Amino acid sequence: MTLTLAEMAVEVLTTADGCAKTALSHQHANAWFAARAGQTDPIEIGRADPPMHPARPEAPQLVDPRDVPKRKPGSPAGRIALLHAVAHIELNAVDLHWDIIARFADVPLPPGFYDDWVKAAQEESKHFNLVCDCLEEMGSHYGALPAHAGMWRAAEDTADDFMGRLAVVPMVLEARGLDVTPGMIKLFRKAGATQAVEALETIYGEEVGHVSYGPKSRKINKPLS
């Protein structure tokens, strides 16, 4: 039986392992776009009951941001710590995008809304994988260091507030990422870390698009027929 888009979103949210989560995210995004292109049967938006918190892997250990160890950004350990934090943000972003689809499935929205958010979810999945590859190339992996425990806070605070969620995800969380990425690219370029530079440039280019998906988005304002 074909899953609805909301059910697909819940599957992603309830998958703990990062690689499994992003693989499922890609698979469901591809299914959505194949249906939208008329290559397969249409996918209903449906209804689902997303968990309040997405499933997370056993590692990294989630700690208060004050307890995330600080390392000199100029050192190899510092660069690994920085990329580890980015991987954590990207994994959280995968869940944020699917969560908005599942949690607000009862809000009537045009198909273009889902195209935007499914595409962004797929790009976040790619970002997580790109950063994980960089970590592995540097002899580390996602889960090797503690990570920020408060990442889901904004999602919790806006669980009943669709417009609030639409404001906070692109215009605060994602915009913040955009602000810090150029500085990170410079830092990794200086260190000759080509793979990380390329990954961060890809991420930066795609995040510019995500920041445009706020409440003022042309597609949200379009009246529904």
Q: Which of 6, 124, 165, 200 binds Fe ion (CB under 5 A)?
A: 124
Q: Is 116 in the site for Fe ion (CB under 5 A)?
A: no
CB of 52 to Fe ion, least distance (A): 22
174 lines the binding site for Fe ion (CB under 5 A): yes
H-run or E-run covering 157: helix 153-157
Per-residue 3-state assignment (H helix, E strand, C coil) for 100-142: HHHHCCCCCCCHHHHHHHHHHHHHHHHHHHHHHHHHHHCCCCC
Q: How far is the CB of 152 from Fe ion (least distance, A)?
A: 16
* Rounded least distance, CB 118 to Fe ion, Å: 13
Residue type, 118: V
Nearer to Fe ion, 7 or 102 (CB): 102
- CB closer to Fe ion out of 7 and 177: 177
15 residue type, one letter: T
CB under 5 A: which stretch of 61-69, 122-130, 156-164, 194-202 binds Fe ion? Answer: 122-130
Choose between 7 and 24: whose C-beta lies nearer to Fe ion. Answer: 24
**Under a CB-based contact definition with an 8 Å cutoff, are residues 68 and 9 in contact?**
no
Number of residues that bind Fe ion (CB under 5 A): 7
- Taking alpha carbons only, the member of 32, 79, 42 closest to residue 184 is 79
From the list 84, 88, 119, 127, which residue makes contact with Fe ion (rule: CB under 5 A)? 127
Residues 6+ apart with CB under 8 A from 51: 10, 13, 14
Least distance in angstroms from the C-beta of 174 to Fe ion? 5
Cα(186)–Cα(196) distance, rounded to whole angstroms?
A: 11
Q: Shortest approach of Fe ion to residue 154 CB, angstroms?
A: 14
| Cβ at position 122, least distance to Fe ion in Å | 11
Within positions 195 to 224, which residues make up the interface with Fe ion, using CB under 5 A? 207, 210
21 touching Fe ion, by CB under 5 A: no
The sign of the dihedral angle between the CA atoms of 142, 27, 13, 151 is positive
Q: Are 123 and 30 in contact (CB under 8 A)?
A: no
Nearer to Fe ion, 7 or 103 (CB): 103
Chain residues binding Fe ion by CB under 5 A are 90, 93, 124, 127, 174, 207, 210
